[in-house]
Structure 1
């Protein structure tokens, strides 16, 4: 199984576990792209947006994962996570889980 598909499956498991938290905080999830090479979703809440990209970029500051949280009022990235060549699958899963928790709790 490719690393992209593996990551996507693990992230989907995390999202399923957090679905009630998303509902309680009025977070909307929009899956923009979902195929074997790319997975792109956007999470929206009142004052913030988050984007999660799992892909093999041509040129980017990450290897396979880009997670960014934006404050809508000034369009600034306030939290982010990018993996790199040395990041393991387990580290990526743990970091995305933590980032999703931060996004859920941010006001």
Structure 2
């Protein structure tokens, strides 16, 4: 996950290396949007959860919160962001156990 790598100290360019070339521009646009609103997303997550979830789940949750927090500025409808965040959590072994938590927070 790109946000996990960036939070771990990698540059955005280095974090994007694993993204397929055909998806890179779209992923980059979403990452820039998330980074702009990451502080707000982290503050929202702190209000929603008493403890910080594992890094992968936290990054996925904060990504969804950053993309959805302002309905008029969101790149997708809120229900789409929630659905896709939960589906992404279910598909990745590092976040599978956190899928219900992510759904509850969103």
Confirm or deny a common fold (TM above 0.5).
no
Q: Bigger relative contact order, structure 1 or 2, given CA contacts below 8 A and separation 6+? A: 2
**Greater fraction of residues in strand:** 1
- TM-score, normalised to structure 2's length? 0.31
